[in-house]
């Protein structure tokens, strides 16, 4: 093999490091066969492009360099040079176990890189000669199919799915409807027609968002392409949530920031009147601090939703603490705040901080949406519903109420009714969304009764601890 014809696959998740290695390879006179950023792509590109040697980063997400080298050894044997920031006995042992031909400590120079590649290719030939019996190719493919977290399809020359791993089978038979499964099969067939170009596609279903990528295969009998499908639902929803949050924050901060800017300009133009402008400026700044603290608090509660610790919890004392904590706010708004606990308290199985957030959020909303002179009443109780004892806490106000057409949407994230906007009630539409998630997570439900101009009542129903334990 002529040195200037050596084809090198670079596997490195750090873009700058990858570009540096690419430059060194080209200076030596080698050919860059491709650049992968994770272990899965390394296996796929090795199979499709057949490089002469692979420079494999050790630390990568999803599948590290050692695990990727194991799959390459078993599926498409190729000399591998592990790239690592440090050399240890454990690394040498693990690399040897998976058949790595050499390793190189980063950063490296041109001479070290050339020597490592040459040694790896020569040693790989020796290692191949030592192997007395190759494993069955079908068993190798099956190992990858069984261990992958993505859906993987082996596809024939007519677009037919020859084999699918457990993830793919679950999508086709359980997670997707019959129409959606047919759509996925059709897309797999279309990608297979252009497998040599390594095409990609995206599909969106009711419960699943998918990104697909295809590549040709040559060593699996009857198969012409492998199509990998990744579930990107959580990533898409996270991005949409972040976009909505940024839009909402931008909208909420726009007017106050403009007001603050105006006051600072006035103070610069008329410094002798700074005492007149300072109270308004301070009030606007404090409102922004309050808004940001509220956002951080709500998002923190939501992040911790699935990590809470449920335990038997008397309902009335918790509600009483929240009411007592909100009393100064009610007084500042000129409201009467009343608490009427049930004669017999109920015990629920819940996370104390999460349930306190639910009651506090409902109570703060009631205070904000009730004009001065009004009343907010908090009550607790217990009732039997279809043989299931439920504890409840209700927050009732005499405020502006909710329009009938807005009621179905009040638990949507970032949704705020027109009446709230006109009344300039602070908030971003995050609280009730998190309230519902917490209550649902605890096996309960939220009931709302309201009419425009007639106040609102939010009631949270939760199973009592004794019933849950039966």
Q: Distance (Å, rounded) from C-alpha 221 to C-alpha 225?
A: 11
- CA-to-CA dists, residue 455 to 17, 329, 334, 397, angstroms: 62, 19, 16, 5
Helical H runs in 383-464? 418-422, 431-441
For residues 320 and 69, what is the distance between their CA atoms, to the nearest angstrom? 60
Q: What is the pLDDT of residue 104?
A: 87
- Pairwise CA distance, residues 221 & 163, whole Å: 11
Nearest to 340 by CA among 321, 320, 322, 366: 320
Closest CA to 9 of 61, 59, 62, 69: 69
Distance CA(409)–CA(397), nearest Å, equals 20
pLDDT tens-digit map of 91-133: 888 888 888 888 888 878 889 999 999 998 888 887 776 554 4
Residues 6+ apart with CB under 8 A from 377: 337, 338, 339, 340, 395, 396, 397
Task: Using CB atoms within 10 Å of the CB of residue 55, give its burial: 0 to 12 exposed, 13 to 18 middle, 19+ buried.
Answer: buried
392-435: per-residue pLDDT in tens? 999 999 998 888 888 888 887 767 666 666 656 666 667 788 88
> Among the residues of 270-405, which ranges form H helices?
274-303, 315-332, 352-368
Q: What is the pLDDT of residue 260?
A: 82
- Kindly state the DSSP code that residue 214 receives in the 8-state scheme: E
CA–chain centroid gap for 133, Å, is 44
pTM over 0.75: no
Residues 6+ apart with CB under 8 A from 366: 376, 395, 396, 397, 399, 456, 458
User: What is the SS3 assignment for 424?
Assistant: coil
- Contact between 444 and 462 under an 8 Å Cβ cutoff? The reply is yes
Give the span between the Cα atoms of 166 and 188, in whole angstroms. Answer: 16
- Which pLDDT score, from 0 to 100, does residue 448 have? 93
The residues, ordered by sequence, that sit 6+ positions from 71 with a Cβ below 8 Å of its Cβ are: 39, 43, 63, 143, 144
Position 422 scores a pLDDT of 63
By the 8 A CB rule, do 40 and 151 touch? no
List domains and CATH numbers for the chain. 3-130 (3.40.50.2300), 137-231 (3.30.450.20), 234-303 (1.10.287.130), 308-469 (3.30.565.10)
Asked if 348 and 463 count as a contact pair (C-beta separation under 8 A), the reply is yes
Rounded to a whole number, what is the distance in angstroms from the first to the last CA of the chain? Answer: 74
User: How confident is residue 266, by pLDDT bands cut at 50, 70 and 90?
Assistant: confident
Cis peptide bond prior to 355, omega within 30° of 0: no
Are the C-beta atoms of 466 and 347 separated by less than 8 Å?
yes
DSSP string, 358-394: HHHHHHHHHHHTS-TT-EEEEEEEEEEETTEEEEEEE
> Nearest 5°: CA angle at 322, between 316 and 323?
85
Indicate whether 469 pLDDT > 50: no
- Indicate whether 383 pLDDT > 80: yes
Split at pLDDT 50, 70, 90, the class of 374 is very high
């Amino acid at each position: 093999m002529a040195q200037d014809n050596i084809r090198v696959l670079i596997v490195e998740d750090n873009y700058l490091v990858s570009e540096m290695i690419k430059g060194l390879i080209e200076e030596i006179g080698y050919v860059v066969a491709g650049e992968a950023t994770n272990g899965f792509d390394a296996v796929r590109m090795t199979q499709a492009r057949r490089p002469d040697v692979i420079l494999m980063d050790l630390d990568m997400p999803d599948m590290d360099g050692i695990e990727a080298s194991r799959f390459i050894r078993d599926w498409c044997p190729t000399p591998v040079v592990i790239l690592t920031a440090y050399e240890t006995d454990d690394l040498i042992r693990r690399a040897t176990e998976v058949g790595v031909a050499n390793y190189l400590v980063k950063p490296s120079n041109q001479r070290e890189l050339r020597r490592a590649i040459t040694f790896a290719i020569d040693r790989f030939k020796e290692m191949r000669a030592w192997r007395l019996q190759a494993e069955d190719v079908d068993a190798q493919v099956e190992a990858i199919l069984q261990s992958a977290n993505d859906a993987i399809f082996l596809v024939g020359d007519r677009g037919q799915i020859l084999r699918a791993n457990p993830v793919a089978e679950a999508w086709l038979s359980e997670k997707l409807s019959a129409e959606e499964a047919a759509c996925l099969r059709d897309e797999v067939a279309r990608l297979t027609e252009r497998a040599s170009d390594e095409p990609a596609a995206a599909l969106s279903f009711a419960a699943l968002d998918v990104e697909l990528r295809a590549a040709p295969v040559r060593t699996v009998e009857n198969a012409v392409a492998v199509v990998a499908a990744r579930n990107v639902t959580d990533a898409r929803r996270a991005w949409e949530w972040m976009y909505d949050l940024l839009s909402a924050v931008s909208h909420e901060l726009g007017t106050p920031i403009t007001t603050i800017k105006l006051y600072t300009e006035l103070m610069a133009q008329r410094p002798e009147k700074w005492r007149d402008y300072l109270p308004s400026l301070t009030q606007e700044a404090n409102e922004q601090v309050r808004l940001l603290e509220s956002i951080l608090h709500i998002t923190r509660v939501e992040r911790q939703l699935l990590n809470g610790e449920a335990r038997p919890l008397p309902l009335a004392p918790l509600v009483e603490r929240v009411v007592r904590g909100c009393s100064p706010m009610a007084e500042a708004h000129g409201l009467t705040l009343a608490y009427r606990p049930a004669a017999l308290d109920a015990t629920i199985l819940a996370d104390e901080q999460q349930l306190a957030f639910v009651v506090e959020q409902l109570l703060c909303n009631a205070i904000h949406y009730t004009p001065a002179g009004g009343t907010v009443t908090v009550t607790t109780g217990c009732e039997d519903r279809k043989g299931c004892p439920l504890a409840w806490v209700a927050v009732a106000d005499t405020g502006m109420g909710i329009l009938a057409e807005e009621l179905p949407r009040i638990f949507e994230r970032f949704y705020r009714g027109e009446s709230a906007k006109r009344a300039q009630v602070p908030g971003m539409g995050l609280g009730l969304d998190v309230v519902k998630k917490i209550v649902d997570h605890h096996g309960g439900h939220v009931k709302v009764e309201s009419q425009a101009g007639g106040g609102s009542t939010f009631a949270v129903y939760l199973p009592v601890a004794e019933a849950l334990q039966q």
